[in-house]
Amino acid sequence: MKRKVLFSIVLLLFIFISCSQKNYKSYHENGNLASIGNYVNEKQEGEWKYYHENGQLSNTGRIKNGKYEGEWKFYFENGDLFNIVNYKNGKEEGECKFYHENDQLLSVGENENGKEEGEWKSFHENGKLSSVGSFENGKEEGEWKVYHENGNLYQIRL
């Protein structure tokens, strides 16, 4: 009798989980995969991947309760890395990096509650510093220095 009850409970749990979790795929008009992931209780959940129309990976990361969570990576259409950004409860949080198409760092800084915060640096495609300054609550704050591609100072903005 106990075995039948235990089996019934396990079977019902399996059915419940199967009904509440659905695998999802969408496709571009050209037939290439556009996205793949899971829905749990009608919200995106777990690992998700999105693809450019040409089939290259566009972005990938985790979704928790329908919101971006943790590290997400975004890619150019040629497959090269474009951006690494961290999310907390659907908002950008922590270090954020952008890259030029030649794989050189474009910019790096911190986000807090979905807005730029603290020092941010930008770089030319040759790797030399392009600008440096600070953000407060998503707005430029204080002195910003801007540099020519050769590394020489171009201007100081206040």
What are the residue ranges of CATH 2.20.110.10 in the chain?
Answer: 80-158
Eight-class DSSP state of 41: T
Q: Which residue has the higher pLDDT, 130 or 4?
A: 130
DSSP state of 18: H
Q: Is-contact 86 113, C-beta < 8 A?
A: no
Nearest CA to 114 out of 138, 98, 131, 84 is that of: 138
What pLDDT was estimated at residue 94?
A: 96
Residue 51: pLDDT above 60?
Answer: yes
pLDDT at 8 over 50: no
pLDDT tens readout for residues 95-117? 999 999 999 999 999 999 999 99
Are the C-beta atoms of 79 and 59 separated by less than 8 Å?
A: no
Exposure string for 15-34, b = 16+ CB within 10 A, e = fewer: eeeeeeeeeeeeeeeeeeeb
Q: Could you name the CATH architecture of 80-158? A: Single Sheet (2.20)
Q: Is pLDDT above 70 for 15?
A: no
pLDDT at 3: 53
Residue 21: per-residue pLDDT: 80
Are 137 and 115 in contact by the 8 Å Cβ rule? The answer is yes
Whether the Cβ atoms of residue 123 and residue 105 lie closer than 8 Å to each other: yes
pLDDT at 5: 41
